[in-house]
Structure 1
């Protein structure tokens, strides 16, 4: 059920960032305070991982971390980590856990002289620094080798493992990299209440800074030294790109889009493949016949929309949630439910975001509102309206490109209760996420996750 508490999503996240130190075994007046130290130091910790030898690159890369973001992804990882720590150690034996989060991974060649990779800290490199950086080791700038803020007593009390804390930082780095790229793609002019990276610096610098963040994140991922987690997080990066491509062209309802791409409002023909390299076709890229019945077309569009939403938003939440569970040593059923929790919460989050695009002002949203229709995107509100009024399909097919299309689409959404139906869809995923959390022991941290999940539905930005 939706929380009846007056606190909004923003208030919930702000509560998580309060600098409140827990006191031994005393109960927490605010369940979010149990990860307050990690959240309040998140930007500082990430800045230690980003550093390069070029001051302007440092400036662009850290630009979005300076602003007040929701930070919901690392918050989920940290609260899950704390919740998972409530499971007795004897029930968390899928991998071996110690102070360095050691797995049962074997040495590279099995020879006694080699070091077990999994037994290293997240701050230790796998290769010599002179090889990684190719310069004089005496002048090497290696931000990833700086010791993280350990605070062993605090960690022991919180139950959050060092690798789980690093996981939270990695997740926010990946997310921020996608924001830099997305703002260039969408020609956005604001983000988090101030000029977007592409406006403040340039498109080229924003793209390069996003690439740099992904590079730094990839090194940090490798140093987690858990093959399963490396696979999960690396896959999210590919998912994000695939989801962006799905958003660029809606091939389900636009038969011509498979052979063309939009280039700043103009259609550009895609070069034909030479045949030298096999080109695999995803089921969602198979152009649907235009004479399908209306219900089939609408259902296909919703399926496409939800899969795109998973790739762009829910993939990072779901796979990072699963990674947090893997690192905890939890059993498979717990790991699976953590993944499903992140998936359902991610879908709920983005569906609400698509709804807010219709209802929020620019100042409240922190980025341009009413942007989806202007970008030609068919999200849940207009799809629900199309379900009732087949003629809307023409607007969707031409991506609301003609004069008056955006205003007409908004009117149709209002008349067909598209926003309320979208909210009901978000509620469904919210409830599924809450059900997934019930596999975890009752605790303040689980209550915090439940509160956060409910507050997604009531957020205003």
Structure 2
């Protein structure tokens, strides 16, 4: 299943406007910063996060008419996400992203860090200008969650004692927090009651966790062409993900590779092959499916409409990325 233009049909024009506005919003005075930021947005991406903001907005406002604040929140969400990718690539020493060179590969690590900081600063400025303190509080928490997730990941490199619960908590900070908070923020801008706000938060949380788990499976099963970056990067960096954690329960050989931090030439390849012979990938996929079902339950119970169906399609798309 491909995330085609048909899935986003109800908001297709809104997403086209978003792409145009993103480049205007990051107009830095310094040409290098501007070039770095523009490079990121030109690289594209699935735009799932802003799409969710727009869809939740249309479900929760009268006559499906988006407020300017909804559009701005969608843009802020994508800027925050993009800023986090720049810093992730520096930390992970990743040379490609979405099939093109990363910012620090083209410019330098210093420029990449500054570009990420610049984008976070821009997002904070536009967020403050929404003039909605509760939304500001909700979205601002995401930026601290990113830092928390990175620190936790850095402190547990090659740590074979990490549990699935630890992994899920870290995945919430790194991925699900933004999706959950932006869905809730959109409902807040629509002046929904607290129950509906929390519904969309829970939907986004479970969708985000499933998205991260599937990403981590693809890091093992995917190719450079399909991923847009090298496979096995998590293993190389000592980032123990769901399929690896599950596989460790079955394989002493894998445990030994991780304990010696995959230092030998073919260790990463060996680790991937071992994981594929265990039930690690299937167990991780089952875990992702549980979170997808939890996200769907929210929508199925209360938001049975065309736009709700679009949210369901996005949930199904997340799992289908393995096909």
> Do they fold alike, i.e. is TM over 0.5?
yes
Confirm whether residue 69 of structure 1 aligns to residue 54 of structure 2. Answer: no
SS at match of 2:261: coil
Extract unaligned runs of 5+ from structure 2: none
Aligned equivalent of 2:176: 314
Aligned equivalent of 2:113: 207
Question: How big is the shift at 1:390?
Answer: 5.1
Aligned equivalent of 1:53: 29
2:95 to 186, 189, 199: 189
Distance in structure 2 (CA, Å) of the matches to 1:239 and 1:373: 23
Q: Would you say the 8 A contact 1:376–1:401 is kept in 2?
A: no
1:396 to 258, 266, 269: 258
Aligned length: 323
Distance in structure 1 (CA, Å) of the matches to 2:185 and 2:263: 42
Distance in structure 2 (CA, Å) of the matches to 1:220 and 1:238: 17
Distance in structure 1 (CA, Å) of the matches to 2:99 and 2:13: 25
Distance in structure 2 (CA, Å) of the matches to 1:222 and 1:338: 22
Distance in structure 2 (CA, Å) of the matches to 1:55 and 1:251: 36
1:453 to 287, 306, 315: 315
Aligned equivalent of 2:136: 230
Map 1:337-356 to 2 at 5 A.
337-356=199-218
Confirm whether residue 381 of structure 1 aligns to residue 240 of structure 2. Answer: no
Aligned equivalent of 2:14: 38
What are the superposed Cα offsets for residues 174-223 of structure 1, whole Å, 9 maximum, x if unpaired?
A: 01011111111111111111111111111111111111111110011111
SS at match of 2:240: coil
Distance in structure 1 (CA, Å) of the matches to 2:130 and 2:274: 49
Map 1:274-285 to 2 at 5 A.
none
Aligned equivalent of 1:366: 228
1:165 to 65, 68, 71: 71
What are the superposed Cα offsets for residues 24-57 of structure 1, whole Å, 9 maximum, x if unpaired?
A: xxxxxx5622211111122211122111222221
Extract unaligned runs of 5+ from structure 1: 1-7, 16-29, 90-156, 255-296
Distance in structure 2 (CA, Å) of the matches to 1:77 and 1:345: 13
Question: How big is the shift at 1:71?
Answer: 1.0
Q: Would you say the 8 A contact 2:18–2:71 is kept in 1?
A: no
Q: Give the number of the structure whose residues are more often helix, by fraction.
A: 2
Distance in structure 1 (CA, Å) of the matches to 2:155 and 2:262: 13
Aligned equivalent of 2:185: 323
Question: How big is the shift at 1:401?
Answer: 3.0
What are the superposed Cα offsets for residues 386-425 of structure 1, whole Å, 9 maximum, x if unpaired?
A: 1223564443344333444323322321221211111111
Aligned equivalent of 1:419: 281
Aligned equivalent of 1:81: 57
RMSD: 1.9
